[in-house]
Amino acid sequence: MGVSTGGDPAGGARSGKETASPGEHPHSHTVVTGTLWNYAAAVVAAFLQLGYTAYTGRAVSAAAFGAFASALSITQLLGYFANAGLATTVLRSRELTRGLLMATVRLGLLSGLLCFAVVEATAPLWAELWNAPETTGLLRVLGLQFLVLPVGAVSAAGLRRLQAQRAAVLVETGALAAGLLAGSLLLAAGWNPLGLAVTSVTTQLGIAVLAGAMVTRRLPPAGGRSAERPVRYRELVGSSGFLAGHQLAQYTTNTVPLWAAGTILGPVAAGYYSRATLFTGLLLTTLAAGLTRVTTPALTRVRAEVVGRPPGARAPRGGEEPAVRRAATDVLLAASALSFLPFAFLAGTGPGALQLLLGPGWTEAARLVPPLCAFSAVAVVYAVGLSVDTVCGSLRRMAAAQTAAAATTLAGALVAASRHSLTTLALAAFAGQLSGLAVQMWKWRGGRVVEARRLWGGHAVHAALGLAAYAAGVALSRTAADRPCPALLLVLPAGALFVAFCRPLRTRLPLHRVAAGRGLLPLRLPFRVRGPRREGVTRPQAQ
């Protein structure tokens, strides 16, 4: 089943009025259905996290939470060694077999055991470095998760590779709820701040048990050449090594501001920064994970069917095929639309909302919300771009973009340390992601990976709409706080004009064109019972 190449001979976008070819529908509807399941579960998870954050903001001091955030950053860093890129390898595998899954689990258990030993042995050293005695106990409790974390990550990735998105998100959401409940009960019982660490351990244990059982039931019995252990281990080590190193570099780059806050500005500053990043990180994790978890296997299928090359193979000198370029461009445009607008609105309303959520004494954390929202909006598009490069097998593009992001973030952190400014640290994180995205887009243009003009223009339109969303957020926040807001006089008429002209203008929006060109309008939600489908019929698109 082929995928329509789309576009005009010059590589332009379709207007959205044409009828998409039937071959595009399975890929498009699979992506949308999986994304909606991820987002629906993420809404529930966000409410759970917000309630947990509100409780811990009053039950745990800023210094104790700063020690926990520093300890958590170490375990998250080692988590990339424990996972070793195995979950990504499962997501982009051409065919998931029981032999491949068992091989990834064995490698994950080995790497997780090594990480557990490292954490338990070095916990006192990190506590001495940060001058926070609570870190020792926190690290030793958090280290227990490495005994089950790789199994859970690989099993959840296996469910997604088998297109069982609903099962994967239900498992993760249920495990998160159990972890938050266990942590809250222990904090109430006096295990403060060790209850924070128990939350992560319980969550990972739940994912490993439930996802492991469900993915095992869905796989056929082992047999044939796919179960040959030596071949599988060599393939896994070769394919996942670079991915693990790149993910580690990416996480290190994003955590440099937090480490700088903890080591240079003290645990209280780290507590402020970690609270602000946790607040914005809820939406960041929801958007980035929801998109990358479904687009990586979907783009792998598109590229394999259209181009006939295995996942991760290099493109010819002429660049990717038109259908692959169009699919990658559509995914990136959807990412910018789904990230720029909500984060811009959150940048306007977030400072007041965070102060209301945490209570008094967190004004410094609230000031960090707008620059961290800008960082998060760009980080979503950058993460989806990395999944595009992962599928296309361009290790050089991934390395170049990550090098630019790391260098810019480190330079900004040094400037912030000299000025003792948390706001500058947040701006350094934003500048790092922006530089990485700029390198990505420049490399894509030269390598003919995307439709560059349509991508750049779409990002510009979504950014302009984001400015309007930010103004609306500021106006709403000031109005709720009974503060004067001259911008409200401009936002309301602008909103009225947009509503008046939204019907003729909506067909000009990049996201609408992507949805129409992919056969997704009108959108069918996956949560209701569908009627019988007629084979061989192509639905006309909305005009």
pLDDT tens digits, one per residue of 122-158: 998 888 877 778 888 899 999 999 999 999 999 998 8
Checking if the pLDDT of 440 tops 90, the result is: yes
DSSP label at residue 60: S
pLDDT tens digits, one per residue of 256-315: 888 888 777 777 888 888 888 888 887 888 788 878 877 787 787 777 776 555 555 555
Q: Summarize the confidence of residues 316-344 as an average pLDDT.
A: 85
Checking if the pLDDT of 436 tops 80, the result is: yes
CB 419 within 8 A of CB 365: no
Those residues whose C-beta lies under 8 Å from the C-beta of residue 370, and which sit 6 or more positions away, are 347, 348, 350, 351
The alpha carbons of the chain give a radius of gyration, in whole angstroms, of 23
Q: End-to-end CA distance of the chain, in Å?
A: 27
Rounded distance, CA 260 to CA 69, Å?
12
Per-residue pLDDT at 20: 42
- Percentage of the chain lying above the pLDDT 70 cut: 77
pLDDT tens digits, one per residue of 33-91: 777 787 788 788 878 888 888 888 888 887 788 888 888 888 887 887 777 678 877 87
Checking if the pLDDT of 230 tops 50, the result is: no
Per-residue pLDDT at 36: 79
Closest CA to 305 of 391, 384, 378, 370: 391
Those residues whose C-beta lies under 8 Å from the C-beta of residue 500, and which sit 6 or more positions away, are none
Q: Chain centroid to CA 233: how far?
A: 28
Q: Does residue 368 sit in helix, strand or coil? A: coil
Out of 101-110, 131-140, 216-225, 534-543, pick the least confident: 534-543
pLDDT tens digits, one per residue of 152-183: 999 998 888 887 888 988 999 999 999 999 99
Per-residue pLDDT at 101: 84
Rounded distance, CA 288 to CA 154, Å?
18
CB atoms within 10 A of CB 120: 14
Out of 313-317, 358-362, 462-466, 474-478, pick the least confident: 313-317
The more confident residue out of 92 and 160 is 160
